[in-house]
Amino acid sequence: MFKAIVSASTLRDALDSVSVLVDECKIRLNEDELAIRAVDPANVGMVDLTLEAAAFESYEADGGVIGVNLNRLEDIAGMANSGDLVQLELDEETRKLHIQIDGLSYTLALIDPDSIRQEPDIPDLDLPAEIVVEGAQIGRGITAADMVSDHIRLRVDEAEEAFFIEAEGDTDDVDLRLDREDLIDLQAGPAESLFSLDYLKDMNKAIPKDAEVRVELGEEFPVKLHYEFGEGMGQVTYMLAPRIQSD
Amino acid sequence: MGNADLRDIAHIEEVAFEDLSGVVAVDAHNWLYRYLTTTVKFTSDRRYTTEEGEEVANLIGIVQGLPKFLDNDLTPVFVFDGGVTDLKDDEVAKRRKARERAQERKEEAEERGDAVEVARLDARTQRLTDTIHETSRELLRLLDVPVVEAPAEGEAQCAYMNRVGDADYSGSEDYDTMLFGGPRTLRQLTSKGSPELMDLEATLADHDITYEQLVDVAMLCGTDFNEGVRGIGPKTALKAVTEHGDLFSVLSARDAEIPDAERIREFFHSPPVSDDYEVDTTITPDVAAARAYVVDEWEVDPDEVERGFERIEGALTQTGLDDWT
């Protein structure tokens, strides 16, 4: 059983954060929250999303799992104006999701959850550095880095108490320095890792510019990016595996 | 080899290597074949065989071709063919015959001293010998590149892995991956320029047909498993299938026949594929061991492979999150 009403913008924010990594996903319809966990085929980028029942206008669920084509669902959600409410109801018999938006009704065929890639285990990481920064700052660093390279270095300088976003190209370099006063918070520690810009660019698309992003970083370790949406009642954690020099 | 007629109707776009990322399930036979026939074969012959005349162009191909993936954030998974499908008997026999003919003509050309013709025909006489199979696998193992064994057609396995999400793309120069239901195929992975992306959904949308109809169109034009119907090209086939609905209606309307049509069609729709594979996408090559294998053991001129090995060494390895669980 699943029946819920949610604002179109909250639904879109949730879907966008997952669709940058995968085309299909399982959605867990837990009693107190909706949850999605997915990893891309290369096992490089992971998303872990929860949207609390309180983020919905109304929410009733009893722990089922559905499989959805995210692009399709995004297209439908795209039909709504941002103020609209979207009504979702699962038909257990036909395994279809009925979606209603301001008089428009859409019946979405679901995907067998067993045919979707298994949900990943979340690596248990204890990362030494934590940076809290505005989404817009990360976006700036990524956009600039993308002009010169296909990978990016995230680094914390403990002595200088600063967070660096850097990229080295064949001819040009980019360096964004964010001091303690430019950041919302900084817990300095030994941290420096390289990441693929392809993945970070996609993740960045989903991160709201005004969101507080909590970055957890280590030395040649995956990075974790946490942010909230839906007035704090939706939580997203991205995890991205580093690139390492093979020698 | 697939049917190149499909190019006329396939939705193909050039993409930049930089814009790609993820896992490519590469049809190994098809990929190696390119290196054996075109990339190195036309330049010289002595350099690509050992003293005993064993073929080593495949090893050079792997060393030269791999950096292209690694430098561009693509993780290759090499899918090797299993047994030949009995449906393909005709095609295999035909290819063998073509090879034999080419071999005869090559010998004639050699007698005439026509070097260009020899090189050209040499390409046609190439096939993957047991040695090529063995040495390719061993080198891929040393370079830590994942290998998957297909139960039958490698392309069908690539398409399957792509469809279930274990690969972001199939990699093949042919068009069959699309007929086997592969959503996205990368072509020209061995060429100098940019690769092409062939998209199944977009192809279907372009012509407003279903996947089943696409297979029917291909069968009318001819596939690896059947001769096409005489006088039917891709445009005509498309029109006929759209008009009549499916293959059998077209055949009866034209009073034509494709032997074994039902079986071949079924073979495209659900080919033998395997779920029995495990792919570790974190590639950590043992370059020293690979270099020793290629240069010392197989007598490849170091100059041929040094640049490739340097690039493999310098490539930034993309790790996987599963390394931390």
pLDDT at B115: 58
Average pLDDT, chain B: 85
Q: Is B138 annotated as contributing to ligand binding? A: no
A2-111 shares its CATH topology with A129-240: no
Are the C-beta atoms of A237 and A203 separated by less than 8 Å? no
- Condensed to tens digits (0 to 9), the pLDDT of residues A151-190 reads 899 999 999 999 999 999 878 999 999 999 999 999 999 9
Residue of B148, B170, B319 to mutate for A, most A C-beta atoms under 10 A:
B319
Are the C-beta atoms of B49 and B56 separated by less than 8 Å? yes
pLDDT at B42: 46
Residues of B in contact with A124 (CB under 8 A): 324-325
The pair of structure tokens assigned to B203 is 């192809």
pLDDT at B163: 94
| Among A44, A124, A194, beta carbon nearest to B320 | A44
Residues whose CB falls within 8 Å of the CB of residue A92, separated by 6 or more in sequence, listed in order: A1, A64
Can you tell me whether residue B67 is helix, strand or coil? Answer: helix
Domain co-membership, B87 together with B175: yes
Residue B116 pLDDT exceeds 70: no
Residues of A in contact with B168 (CB under 8 A): 40-42
Average pLDDT, chain A: 94
In a domain, residue B1? The reply is: no
Domain co-membership, B215 together with B143: no
Arithmetic mean of pLDDT, B137-146: 95
Arithmetic mean of pLDDT, B59-77: 89
In a domain, residue B159? The reply is: yes
Distance from CA of A83 to the nearest CA of B (A): 32
Domain co-membership, B216 together with B186: no
End-to-end CA distance of chain A: give it in Å, rounded: 53
Are the C-beta atoms of A200 and A153 separated by less than 8 Å? no
In a domain, residue B324? The reply is: no
In a domain, residue B312? The reply is: no
Domain co-membership, B36 together with B129: yes
B19 pLDDT tier (thresholds 50, 70, 90):
confident
Judged by CB atoms closer than 8 Å, whether chains meet at A43 and B281 is answered as yes
Q: Which amino acid is at A174?
A: V
Domain A129-240, architecture per CATH: Box (3.70)
Q: Is B153 annotated as contributing to ligand binding? A: yes
Residue B46 pLDDT exceeds 60: no
**Chain B CA closest to residue A195:** B318
The CA distance from A143 to A165, in Å, is 11
Residue B244's alpha-carbon distances to A95, A140, A177, in angstroms, are 33, 55, 65
pLDDT at B99: 66
In a domain, residue B28? The reply is: yes
Domain co-membership, B108 together with B229: no
Give the rounded distance of the alpha carbon of A238 from its chain centre: 5
Residue A30 pLDDT exceeds 90: yes
The CA distance from B160 to B22, in Å, is 16
Give the class (CATH, top level) of A2-111.
Answer: alpha beta
Residue A44 pLDDT exceeds 70: yes
Residues of A in contact with B23 (CB under 8 A): 41-42
What is the greatest pairwise CA distance in chain B? 64
| Among A22, A41, A194, beta carbon nearest to B23 | A41
The CA distance from A29 to A227, in Å, is 21
**Chain B CA closest to residue A122:** B325
- Tell me whether B275 touches chain A (CB under 8 Å): no
Residues of A in contact with B312 (CB under 8 A): 246
Domain co-membership, B154 together with B261: no
Judged by CB atoms closer than 8 Å, whether chains meet at A221 and B324 is answered as yes
Kindly provide the residue ranges of all beta strands, DSSP E only, lying in A45-113, ordered along the sequence.
45-52, 58-61, 64-69, 85-91, 96-101, 104-109
- Tell me whether A131 touches chain B (CB under 8 Å): no
- Tell me whether B177 touches chain A (CB under 8 Å): no
pLDDT at B41: 46
Residue A222 pLDDT exceeds 70: yes
The CA distance from A184 to A164, in Å, is 15
Distance from CA of A67 to the nearest CA of B (A): 13
- Condensed to tens digits (0 to 9), the pLDDT of residues A129-144 reads 999 999 999 999 999 9
| Boundary-marking domain end, from B157, B172, B207 | B207
B24 pLDDT tier (thresholds 50, 70, 90):
very high
Arithmetic mean of pLDDT, A202-224: 96
Domain co-membership, B185 together with B223: no
pLDDT at A83: 86
The CA distance from A144 to A165, in Å, is 9
Domain co-membership, B107 together with B134: yes
A40-54, B26-40, B278-292: which range is least confident on average?
B26-40
Residue B300 pLDDT exceeds 50: yes
Residues whose CB falls within 8 Å of the CB of residue A23, separated by 6 or more in sequence, listed in order: A69, A70, A71, B165
In a domain, residue B280? The reply is: no
What are the extents of the domains in chain A?
Answer: 2-111, 129-240
Q: Which of B125, B142, B161 is nearest to B274 (CA)?
A: B161
In a domain, residue B179? The reply is: yes
Residue B235 pLDDT exceeds 80: yes
Domain of residue B247 covers: 208-268
Residue B322 pLDDT exceeds 50: yes
pLDDT at A131: 98
Q: What is the CATH number of the domain that holds B31?
A: 3.40.50.1010
- Tell me whether A241 touches chain B (CB under 8 Å): yes
The pair of structure tokens assigned to B23 is 């896992």
How many structural domains are present in chain B? 2
Q: Which amino acid is at A91?
A: D
B1 pLDDT tier (thresholds 50, 70, 90):
very low
pLDDT at A25: 96
Residue A8 pLDDT exceeds 80: yes
- Condensed to tens digits (0 to 9), the pLDDT of residues B160-216 reads 999 999 999 999 988 999 999 999 999 988 877 889 999 999 999 999 999 999 999
| Boundary-marking domain end, from B217, B236, B268 | B268
Residue A146's alpha-carbon distances to A150, A166, A189, A200, B242, in angstroms, are 6, 10, 26, 10, 45
| Boundary-marking domain end, from B240, B268, B296 | B268
Q: What is the CATH number of the domain that holds B239?
A: 1.10.150.20
- Condensed to tens digits (0 to 9), the pLDDT of residues B238-271 reads 999 999 999 999 999 999 999 889 999 999 999 9
DSSP states of B185-214:
EEE-SSSSS--EEEEHHHHHHHHT--HHHH
pTM of the model: 0.67
pLDDT at A150: 85
In a domain, residue B150? The reply is: yes
Residues of B in contact with A40 (CB under 8 A): 22, 168
Residue B142 pLDDT exceeds 80: yes
Interface of A with B in 142-161 (CB under 8 A): 150-151
User: Would you give the DSSP letter of residue A23?
Assistant: S
Q: Is B174 annotated as contributing to ligand binding? A: yes
The CA distance from B25 to A28, in Å, is 30
Q: Which of B90, B232, B79, B231 is nearest to B162 (CA)?
A: B79
Are the C-beta atoms of A44 and A240 separated by less than 8 Å? yes
